[in-house]
Structures are given as C-alpha cells and as structure tokens.
Copies of this chain bind each other. A is one copy, B any other.
C-alpha cells in the first residue's frame, strides 16, 4: 500500500513575511508578528518531493530550523512504507528520543519542529498515493489508522478498542458525506476583519465587504482597553446584525477573574465564544471561566497554543473548552491532531480549527473534512477559521466559495510554497530582506 522509495534528503528554510508593517495578525499580546514558517522539503531517490511547514511569528524561526535539522536523521534513509507500517514508533522516535525529550517533552520548539517534519512526511505519502491528505487519511483502514497514533496518557478516558468502534461506526455514510462536501464545501468564519491594530474605519470597510461576500461569522480581537473593545464590538455587531455570529479573541491576556468580569460586560454584544481568555496552560482557569459564562451562553474556545493530546484531554474532560481549536503545526502533526479530534468526539465538543497565519488555512481545511467524513460526522455546529493573508504563496491555495471552504482535491497536504515566494522571503538572504 505504501511507497518503498527511500527519502534521501531533508532541507529546511526560514521564510518570513513582514506582516508587522501592516499589523495583519496583530492582537493583544502579539502586537507586531511577522508571519513566518520553517519550511521542510523531503526528497526521495526518484526525485519526488514532500513539503511540510510549521508556523511561527518571526523571531526564533531559525531556532526551529535548527531543531528540525536535529530530527533529519530520524527521517532520511526511511521510506514511506517504513514509516507508515509502524507510524506510532516513528512518531515516538521524534517525540520520545531519550536525550531530546528533556527539551519538551511534546511541547515548544521541538514539537513545532516535529510538526514540520511529520507534515512533510504525510504530504509526501499522500502525493505518492495521488490523494489529497484528507482522502488519504479517511481511506486508511480504521484499525490501521488507530494503530498508527500514539495514545499514551489517554487510556484513563478512552481505550483503543473504543476508538476502533467509534471510527468504524463513522464508516457508514462516508461516501455520502464526501459528496456533500464536494457539492457545498465546509462552513467557515472570518478573522481578518478585526485585527487589533486596525482602525475602526478599516474594520468597518472590511466587515461590510465580507458581509457582501456572504460571510455569517466574524471574529474580533479584544483584551487591552475594555472601552475600545466595547466600541469595536458595538461597531461590528451593528454592521452584522443580531443573527450573524460574533466571536471574540483575547489571546491569553487576562487572569481568570478579569476574563469573567470583562466578558460579563461584553455579553451585551452577544459573543458566541471568548477565545483564549487566559493562559493556554490553565485548564482549571478555563473551567472556571466556562462555568461563569455558561449562563450567558458564551462558550470558551482554546487550543491553538495547547501543546499536546494530554492537555486537550484535560480541557475536554474538565469542561474547560466548549470549542476545540486544533492547530495544524503546534502539536506534532497529523497523527496527534487525529488523536485530539477523537478525544473531542468522545467528550462531545465541536472541533473548530485554528487558522490564519501562513499556510494554516491551507492545512486545517483537511482536518475539518476528516472530522466530518470520519470522526464526528457533524458539520452544523462547526466552522473552520479563515483569514485573508498570504494564500497566494502556496501552490494549493485554500479556496472559499459562498463563505465556505471548498474541498481540496490536489494530491498532498497543501504545504508546498511557490518557489518564487521562498526565494523572495527566505530569511535573511531572500531578496525582500536584502533590500
């Protein structure tokens, strides 16, 4: 089933976009991000390439690059067959290296590096199988797929037998759901109207523009000045009307009690969720906030900085997240994201992926498709984030039609960047940074 061609090379590049100049992506704690990627290229002996990224905010991408170089020897010399016939062992060779695990384990820079490498491995595998990633995944026999994933530290909430049963049930109606996605795509919401560094004028213009395109769910950044947040929320709510969804994102700026106090004031604008109200590590804090806001019908969303399945397990079990925001680059790659989506299904929490950045929209749409086809089988209470930046640098751009993600069809995991983009923005020697 899997290709036996050996991977003979792993190359990695530091690619940075000067987004801090326009304040695209600016929020309460990330005031001047330069959206960037560590970009991995794997090449086989016959010259087939697979591509992987991890997303960063600029400074330190070179450190991630160095961490990726350290992982090179775990990949080069192996074939997709070698890797995928015992993927769990391959994954653990990256995350549980006896010396390197001290640097994490399963968190921070080494885990971002792991994601870039495994994203490239899955991209290559899907290309060799001539399928888009989502299709490649849903076509793997359920028992094989479950055996590929590292479930360590999760057996207190779910057994592998239960997971196999759950996913086997998900096989019924699979082709119908795929047809539905082919026809109508997957629901999306838009973030790029309300970055914190944008003027009211710009927010107004962008919101009207997006309303005109058919968008029905909008996210704004909050967190520094309550007065500004109230004014901006009033502005956006007045533009989108009472029926469209408005989400708020605090990017971790508050302590628990601040979050509760401030959201109780902001509730008059009927927010659908508050995202990252406090530290991404604070399960108990999120549980307190969730409980306090439940009566106001405000959910708590988090996950883009949640480091691994062990943290997600606790957030889910302890009712600390009502929306599960998987990220495609933070948690070590495809198998770990699948583990988290299975846990979310177990606890009945909808998956609403984190996107934006560079390439994140391109990647996460595959996960929403997998969630619908194979895992939750639900779409009505879900949506996948979208932001309008930097898509043009990818060879398989995320496509939106009627404010919904179009089902990707090109082989691979959509991580490949255009050669001219890499040449221009690679850091520090690309033509953009040299000028």
B-contacting residues of A (Cβ < 8 Å)?
29-34, 55-60, 62-64, 66-67, 70, 96-112, 152-156, 252, 255-258, 278-285, 288, 305, 307-308, 310-311, 313-314, 317-318
Contact = CB atoms under 8 A, between A and B. Distances in A.
Contact of A109 (B32, B59, B67, B154): B67
B60 A67 contact: yes
Contacts of A30: 98-99, 101-102
A360 to B, nearest CB: 12
B57 A62 contact: no
A351 B66 CA distance: 36
A32 B98 CA distance: 6
A2 to B, nearest CB: 28
Contact of A103 (B60, B154, B318): B60
Contact of A105 (B98, B305, B310): B305
Nearest to A308: B281
A376 to B, nearest CB: 23
A103 B64 CA distance: 8
Given A30-B98, A30-B99, A156-B255, 4 more contacts: A103-B108, A107-B281, A108-B110, A109-B110
Contact of A310 (B29, B152, B282): B282
A288 B33 CA distance: 40
A107 B108 CA distance: 6
A249 to B, nearest CB: 15
A150 to B, nearest CB: 12
Contacts of A156: 255-257, 285, 288
Contact of A255 (B34, B64, B153, B257): B153
A97 B108 CA distance: 15
A107 B57 contact: no
Contact of A66 (B66, B102, B111): B66
B29 A101 contact: yes
Nearest to A151: B255
Nearest to A16: B99
A349 to B, nearest CB: 16
A58 B30 CA distance: 33
Contacts of A313: 282, 284
Among A64, A70, A103, A252, find the residue whose CB has the most chain B CB atoms closer than 10 A. A103
Among A32, A34, A285, A308, find the residue whose CB has the most chain B CB atoms closer than 10 A. A285
A155 B60 contact: no
A235 to B, nearest CB: 25
A63 B68 CA distance: 10
A435 to B, nearest CB: 21
20 contacts: A29-B101, A30-B99, A34-B99, A56-B99, A57-B98, A57-B99, A57-B100, A57-B101, A57-B102, A59-B97, A62-B70, A63-B63, A63-B67, A103-B109, A103-B112, A105-B252, A153-B278, A153-B279, A283-B314, A284-B314
Given A64-B103, A110-B60, A317-B284, A98 B33 contact: yes
A269 B255 CA distance: 44
Contacts of A109: 63, 67, 103, 108-110
Nearest to A27: B98
B284 A99 contact: no
Contacts of A281: 106-107, 153, 307-308, 310-311
Contacts of A62: 66, 70
Given A107-B307, A153-B278, A155-B257, A99 B285 contact: no
Contacts of A101: 29-30, 57
A56 to B, nearest CB: 6
A256 B285 CA distance: 23
Nearest to A260: B156
Contacts of A31: 98
